[in-house]
Amino acid sequence: MEQIKYITENENDHRWGLIVCSAGRQRVAPHEEYPPQGHNAEYTFDWRKGRTLQEYQLLYISEGEGTLETRSAGRHTVKAGDMFLIFPSEWHTYHPNPETGWREHWIGFKGENIDNRVAAGFFSRKQPLYHIGTNDTIESLYREATDVAVAQRPFFQQLLAGIVNHLLGLMFMTEANRNLLPNSDMPNIIELARQYMQRSITSDITMPDVARHFNISYSTFRHIFKRYTGLAPADYFINLKIHRAKELLRSSNIPIKEIAYELHFESPEYFATLFKRRVGMSPSHFRSK
């Protein structure tokens, strides 16, 4: 058994949008009773019967393996490097394999911040398991959360909320990228393509040119780029140009017509129309603000 901390909160913490209820880490040896003694009565459970909680819990298994079962997702094998998210009012149970034990890290939390992300579809009861792999940053964040919870310095809840958001972001990003293009170099190529476009905003290049630069068919490049970034390559490139135009409008006296030509828009009129559509005001209005 290692550090475990159950935490109270106040009204000000609730206004922050996310509060942490518990944090801890523990090593469960092979054939050791699970869960070990020492938990708050609210959290103690018989893994054979399962339980429900009124909060989210995010767990990371850094060693060993075991089993997770939830009402919505059924039964899953959990291995070292996996994270899983428990949802409020969701029946669940989990436990280590008696032959291996495991090392678990967890943090419990609730609030409108996480509720909104679930409602937006970022996290689902039907997919609670995330295959992250060994990750020193994640382990370090869990250790920091436990240390902060134990010390409970003024406004510690706000710091803990930041750690939860960091953990959720890392988990979501890692799993999303793994699912996007498993066993592929494409994510690295897309990132290099983004950098190439950033260096080329004053060049007269097309998106098929970018695809050829990386020896990819344009149809494949466009499809993968949009899945990876959420934007078609042309839209991404235009956004880069608009961002550069805004910088020039703010920091220089270069005529608007010359900015349009420098960034290789079809015409000053097209640039002005596109700028207003994307920014909500004309280039001249933007410069005068």
pLDDT at 147 over 50: yes
Alpha carbons 280 and 275: distance in angstroms, whole number:
8
Query: Percent of the chain beyond pLDDT 70?
Result: 95
Q: How many helices (H) and strands (E) does the chain have?
A: 11, 8
Residue 280: per-residue pLDDT: 93
Domain-by-domain residue ranges, the chain? 4-180, 186-288
**The CA-based dihedral angle spanning residues 263, 267, 269, 274, taken in that order and rounded to the nearest 10 degrees:** -50
Query: Percent of the chain beyond pLDDT 90?
Result: 77
Confidence band (pLDDT; 50, 70, 90) for 20? very high
pLDDT at 67 over 90: yes
Residue 179: per-residue pLDDT: 72
Contacts of 131 (CB under 8 A, 6+ apart): 81, 82, 175, 178
What mean pLDDT comes out for the span 211-236?
91
What mean pLDDT comes out for the span 247-264?
95
Residue 135: per-residue pLDDT: 83
Contacts of 74 (CB under 8 A, 6+ apart): none
Angle between helices 136-151 and 156-180 (to 10 degrees): 160
Q: What is the pLDDT of residues 92-142, one digit of tens each?
A: 999 999 999 999 999 999 999 999 999 999 999 999 999 988 888 999 999
* Domain range 4-180, CATH architecture: Sandwich (2.60)
Confidence band (pLDDT; 50, 70, 90) for 30? very high
Alpha helices in the chain (DSSP H): 11-15, 112-119, 136-151, 156-180, 186-199, 207-213, 218-229, 233-251, 256-262, 268-279, 283-288
Confidence band (pLDDT; 50, 70, 90) for 1? very low
Residue 251: per-residue pLDDT: 92
Alpha carbons 72 and 60: distance in angstroms, whole number:
20
Confidence band (pLDDT; 50, 70, 90) for 182? low
Q: Tokens for 6, please give them.
A: 């159950």
Residue 102: per-residue pLDDT: 96
Q: Which of 196, 201, 231, 232 is nearest to 215 (CA)?
A: 196
Q: What is the Cα Rg of the chain in Å?
A: 25
Q: Tokens for 134, please give them.
A: 């060994």
Q: Is 219 exposed, middle or buried (0-12, 13-18, 19+ CB in 10 A)?
A: exposed
Residue 13: per-residue pLDDT: 86
SS3 59: strand
Residue 78: per-residue pLDDT: 97
Confidence band (pLDDT; 50, 70, 90) for 2? low
pLDDT at 260 over 80: yes
How many angstroms separate the first and last alpha carbons of the chain? 60
**Helical (H) or strand (E) element with 155:** none
What mean pLDDT comes out for the span 55-82?
96
Q: Tokens for 118, please give them.
A: 């679930």
pLDDT at 26 over 50: yes
SS3 148: helix
Please give the CATH topology (third level) of the domain spanning 186-288.
Arc Repressor Mutant, subunit A (1.10.10)
